[in-house]
Structure 1
């Protein structure tokens, strides 16, 4: 087994993370919006915290926790829980290159984000496209619970069905 390192994102990781994102988009079509500006997408001002997964010195995965911006998962959780928006954050930007998927990188990245959420007293929510069955299995295996469904809108009037989840 190759050694997998999960660690906080550093600015020097940006080129490697952007290259991994472009790779994932070419194999999986994630994100559906595309990656015209991968570095800007990864380093959005809404990122609260982020981590990378590394195998043999190369970045093979990424996850971020982001401030809410009107996501359906946030609205659904607020309605169901009574939590305020400042108590909620969105797990997002999770991706792992295909070559590294048998090394539990996605699981370990998700667990790092979940630990951070717990430590900070923040409830994490997310939405995942129904086409991304492997991601849905991962979240469910880690105890995330479905809280509803909503269309994910992108591009020029396009949409795809998504499932909204809340962390355990």
Structure 2
């Protein structure tokens, strides 16, 4: 890889490259724990509001999506703490970057792109991350995401793993911190 990745909205033509990158990340990192059997369908789910890819030397090296809330633990935790409606929320999901593209802060660039999109639309973002994914946790916290609680991520045939839920304060840090403090 010789150039820095650039981030752009995903197109249907990107799906084979996204699928290949997802399978590669799963092989190196064990993420994602679902979606690998049919990666093109997983990244193009009807729940996707919008998504982006990172491309380097004409190869897809990363992906991120904002999804419609579908009862995720992070959505429920934030609604309970803040009283905010799900209509003004999005779930940040399906962030993955192939190993050799990480040296260029590709994950951070994808995150900042999604956060800017949400901010422009006054959309509150939430996410959950498996506790084993410590690099992702460090990235979210460095970018100002607030831990709002713990959950259990369920996947596969009855499998589960501990997860942490986060909210991004598109409407401002003060109201997020206040809502989180009221419950804790």
Band of TM-score, shorter chain: over 0.9
Instruction: Tell me, in whole angstroms, the C-alpha distance in 2 between the residues paired with 1:122 and 1:3.
Output: 29
SS in 1 for 2:125: strand
Q: 1:34 to 1:49 in 2, by over 3 A?
A: closer
Structure 1 residues not aligned, in runs of 5+: none
Shift of 1:81: 1.0
Instruction: Tell me, in whole angstroms, the C-alpha distance in 1 between the residues paired with 2:147 and 2:141.
Output: 8
Structure 2 residues not aligned, in runs of 5+: 170-184
Instruction: Tell me, in whole angstroms, the C-alpha distance in 2 between the residues paired with 1:15 and 1:49.
Output: 17
Instruction: Tell me, in whole angstroms, the C-alpha distance in 1 between the residues paired with 2:97 and 2:129.
Output: 15
- TM-score, length basis structure 2: 0.89
Residue deviations 1:75-116 (CA, integer Å, cap 9, x gap):
000011111010111000000001111111000000000011
Shift of 1:56: 1.4
Poorly superposed stretches of 4+, deviation over 2 Å:
none
Instruction: Tell me, in whole angstroms, the C-alpha distance in 2 between the residues paired with 1:11 and 1:119.
Output: 25
Indicate conservation of the 8 Å contact 1:73/1:126, yes or no: yes
Shift of 1:30: 0.8
Match of 1:22 in 2: 23
Shift of 1:3: 2.2
Indicate conservation of the 8 Å contact 1:72/1:150, yes or no: yes
Indicate conservation of the 8 Å contact 2:153/2:162, yes or no: yes
Instruction: Tell me, in whole angstroms, the C-alpha distance in 1 between the residues paired with 2:118 and 2:85.
Output: 15
Shift of 1:34: 4.7
Q: 1:41 to 1:130 in 2, by over 3 A?
A: same
Match of 1:90 in 2: 91
Shift of 1:2: 2.4
Match of 2:151 in 1: 150
SS in 2 for 1:156: coil
Match of 2:58 in 1: 57
Match of 1:79 in 2: 80
1:124 aligns with 2:125: yes
- TM-score, length basis structure 1: 0.97
SS in 2 for 1:26: helix
Match of 1:109 in 2: 110
